[in-house]
Structure 1
Amino acid sequence: MRGTVPWESVVGHAPLRASHPRPATDDLAIIQYTSGTTGTPKGASLTHRNLLANAAQAQAWVPSITRGDGCVVYAVLPMFHAYGLTLCLTFAMSMGARLVLFPKFDPDLVLEVTKKRPATFLPLVPPIADRLLAAATAKGVSLAGTEIAISGAMALPHELVVPFEKATGGYLVEGYGLSECSPVLMANPVAGNRVPGTVGLPLPGTECRVVDPDEPTADVAPGQPGELVVRGPQVFGGYYGKPEETEAVFADGWFRTGDIVTIDDAGFVRIVDRIKELIITGGFNVAPTEVEGALRQHPDVVDAAVVGLPSDHSGEEVVAAIVVDPGKDVDVEAIREFARGILTPYKVPRRIFVVDELPKSLIGKVLRRQVKERLVALTSGS
């Protein structure tokens, strides 16, 4: 690629002079792209301070972990994802830990490594915990010695926590964050006082409020649902090259997460709903608009609406409702195959339903919430 510097020329270069400028803490470190509700990628500008702060916050949350080679971090998550970037790479480096890199999540490969050196710290998503536990049980491999597993990106079922902790003898706790926040904002305590069904408490140095989504500077009554707004050293300063989008997600210096939550008297946060219409499947974000655009490219599809429906295995599954040309005898599996030729595999709808029409607003916008309600009713008996 033009402009690329060969690695060999870098390692063969003379050492940098002491006077050579070094990055400052508030310099841009990475641009972490995240899909918005429109499906248009936005680059979250994260500084060295943001990333270092989040690693330090994670360290403070797990004080029982020993620094150095005795700390073993398993990297089973992709590092292009903010979750894997911080909790696998940056956290491990800040701890001086032994980082075990996996090319992808392969339960058999993870079990082979576990036999030799169990994980001290294992960031994962619920489907990974489920598959790892099932494989260990089937092969008779012990998971004992896995000290702390932290789950993020999607809701953690309590019925998975109990057998996983019994098998490992350690903890499996849920956390919460966003790419714009480097990404971790809160987590359940790694202790007996964690609260299942919640995403825990704010990390050190993190402030949060619950506000009226229509008046984001006004707090709601204690215990009532509202939009979560946050600020802290891990929160980004804005989207790269998008000042208007940046302004829209801040209110008086507080970052608007777009998530509706409640906070109990002890400070534990529970996610109630999402303002944003992103679908989270297997820990990855799927923008409905992108999938709808792919489906509409099919010559027999007149219109499409894509929503996320609850799944026992992946948090949510991508489901589509489509309107087709009148009189057409449509094969939905053929349409799925068509979409597979355009989309990344995890974005392809698991199920497609043919409907007569889609609910729309007065200005013609598809009402995805109503589509979701209808599909839930349609599938409740299946």
Structure 2
Amino acid sequence: FLIFHDIIISYASCNTMANKLAQGLLGLGVKKNDRVALMAPNIPQYVIALMACFKIGAIAVPTNPLYTVPEITHQFTDSGSETVIVMAAFADKVVQVMQQESSIVKRTVVAQVPGKQIELPDSENVFDFDELIAGAENVDPDIKVSPEDIAMLQYTGGTTGSPKGCMLSNFNLVAMAAQDSAWYSPMVALSEIRTLAAVPLYHIYGYNLNVNLALYVAGSVVLVAQPSVDNLLAAINQHKPTCFNAVPAMIIGLNQHPDTPQSKIKEIRGMVCGSAPLPVEAFKRFEELSGARIVEGYGMSETSNIVTGNPAYTRRKIGSVGVPFPDVDIRIVDLEDGTTEMPMGEKGELICRGPQLMSGYWENPEETADSLRDGWLYTGDIAYMDEDGFIFIVDRKKDMLICSGFNVYPRDIDEVMFTHPKVIEACTIGVPDPKRGETVKVFVVLKPGESMTEQEVIDYCKERLAGYKVPKLVEFIDELPRTSVGKADRKALREWEKSRMK
């Protein structure tokens, strides 16, 4: 089931450890429907802890271990997480939160990584993961868990506001796994699923297309805790995964690494790319190197991950996020009234419904009412559908700029810059302008050894974009800030720009 460097854990062994951890958590006072935060990179203990939560009906709260103390304080407080299971390297932050006078956290379970032992914080109510398992019975918990029970509070990335906890039920996750398997089966026989789990499991994309899919088809998961290109290649060469669910930064990194052509990358047959658009040049190069066919899709935390995808072996449109998944309905509606369906080819807000939709945001009725209306999820993404039913994402509704009264979608500029031979990637934001309201600024990352002037960028855009979309400001940077899943972080760039303008 789980493969981590030289460690192999079977389904039976994982089940035994999950049973014992579940009994240990019950002994600490954890009950059904209690929230348990899981804070670790892609290590076996994360998956075992998740299975233990499922067994006792506790609600797992995946948490980014790189979060700061204020960020984890917000997530623990908002979710009401009294118990935290954390990798030892990040335990100090949790203990800091637990020791705050007003803290919701009552107990912390610390997981050590073999060969990288870290002394446990000297604090009451800090427990060792391995000792908790060793002292418990291998007995299935006698707790009734139903399909409608909440299995997970998956927090949104917070790129357009404060993170919100999406309530995902057991039914949502199983429905999503069934949809995944139907989409994946033309690429890889389900009996041969061995995923390369490099996208963080605390992100819904990382969890769904690795652990969730593997559980549904009895597949294997190759865990990569630190997804550097060297680590990805090491895992590919050692374990020969058949499936790789990636983000663009990983694909671009592999394309540029000198050892990739000689690696065992051709073992990969099923390839999904998500979180952000993949430049066409990167698309073609990776398919040449691996022989795999890349499938791009679209989804979000609110949908247990995926609602659309490009077909695996029939018609595919590069740049599109594909067609609706099985049992999913998609509509493109007017941005103003939210109900009028837009004609083919015209932009509007993408709304969707299906069995994988969340029931709402945790203890947030206002945001829930705004996003879920009459059974439809209003995604906040601007999109259009072509005459063949393929969907194209234009931009986030909240990212749209208004320059001199014109609507400008930052991704239009990003995608033009992706086509420049000197550019690795780009990210566009709006900055305040006394005359235009907002003006367009693009941050550009150049390929190693390349040089470029601001005027070259502007001239390149002038040839390919309407005048009001052409950036007035250009800044070259070494790398873009990223969200936990590797997506270019537009919000961070806006905040950085705002702090420099003060």
TM-score normalised by the shorter chain: which range applies?
0.7 to 0.9
Please tell me whether residue 359 in structure 1 is matched to residue 359 in structure 2.
no
Alpha-carbon distance in 2 for matches of 1:17, 1:198: 45
1:56 CA displacement: 1.1
Query: Does residue 393 of structure 2 align to residue 271 of structure 1?
Result: yes
- The answer for the alignment partner of 2:206 in structure 1 is 84
Distance (whole Å) between structure 1 residues aligned to residue 472 and residue 227 of structure 2: 34
Partner of 1:160: 282
Aligned to 2:216: 94
Question: Is the counterpart of residue 24 in structure 1 residue 119 in structure 2?
Answer: no
Q: Is the CA contact (8 Å cut-off) linking 2:329 and 2:354 kept in structure 1?
A: yes
Counterparts of residues 169-248 of structure 1 (less than 5 Å): 169-248=291-370
Aligned sequence identity (%): 31
- The Cα shift of 1:54 comes to 1.1
Tell me if structure 2 keeps the 8 A contact 1:33–1:41.
yes
Q: Report which stretch shifted further, 110-119 or 123-132.
A: 110-119
Structure 2: which 5+ runs fail to align?
Answer: 1-94, 96-105, 110-126, 402-409, 443-467, 478-502
CA distance in 2, matches of 1:132, 1:156: 13
User: Secondary structure of the equivalent of 1:173?
Assistant: strand
Name the SS for the 1:258 alignment partner: strand
- 1:3 counterpart = 2:126: no
Matched residues in 1 for 2:284 and 2:160: separation?
38
Query: Would you say how many aligned residue pairs link Structure 1 and Structure 2?
Result: 313
1:39-82 deviations in whole A, cap 9, x for unaligned?
212111111111111111110001132334x3210011111111
Q: Cα distance, 1:161 vs. partner?
A: 1.6
Cα distance in 2 between the residues matched to 1:278 and 1:91 = 34
Q: Structure 1 unaligned runs (5+)?
A: 280-306, 322-357
What's 1:341 paired with? Answer: none
CA distance in 2, matches of 1:86, 1:255: 19
Q: Counterparts of 2:428 and 2:388 in 1: how far apart (Å)? A: 35
Post-superposition shift, 1:368?
Answer: 5.5
Compared with structure 1, are the counterparts of its residues 124 and 138 closer, same or farther at alpha carbon in structure 2 (3 Å cutoff)? closer
SS in 1 for 2:267: coil
Work out whether residues 37 and 276 of structure 1, in 8 Å CA contact, stay in contact via their aligned partners in 2.
no
Higher relative contact order (CA 8 A, sep 6+): 1
Aligned to 2:257, the other structure's residue is in SS state helix
1: distance between equivalents of 2:395 and 2:430?
20
Cα distance change on mapping 1:26 and 1:360 into 2, 3 Å: farther
Contact 2:179 2:325 (C-alpha < 8 Å) held by counterparts? yes
Letter in 2 for 1:166: E
> 3-state SS of the aligned residue for 2:433?
coil
Deviation at 1:11, TM superposition (A): 5.1
Paired AA for residue 189 in structure 1: P
Structure 1 vs Structure 2 CA RMSD: 3.1
CA distance in 1, matches of 2:330, 2:177: 19
Q: Deviations over 1:143-198 (max 9, x none)?
A: 21210110001012222222211111111121111111111111111115111110
Structure 2 residue identity aligned to 1:55: A
3-state SS, counterpart of residue 104 of structure 1:
coil
1:257 aligns to what SS in structure 2?
strand
Who is 1:66 aligned against? 189
With the length of structure 2 as denominator, give the TM-score of the two structures. 0.57
Write the deviation string for residues 186-238 of structure 1: whole angstroms up to 9, x where unpaired: 11111151111100011101111111121112212233211110000111111
1:252-267 to 2 correspondence within 5 Å? 252-267=374-389
Q: 77-86 vs 37-46, which deviates more?
A: 37-46
Q: Secondary structure at the match of 2:155?
A: strand
Work out which of the residue numbers 463, 474, 487 in structure 2 matches 1:379.
474
Match for 2:384: what amino acid?
A: T
Once superposed, which parts of structure 1, at least 4 consecutive aligned residues long, lie more than 6 Å away?
369-375
Relative to structure 1, is the Cα distance of residues 315 and 151 closer, same or farther in structure 2, using a 3 angstrom cutoff? farther
Structure 2 CA distance for partners of 1:116 and 1:137, relative to 1, 3 Å: closer
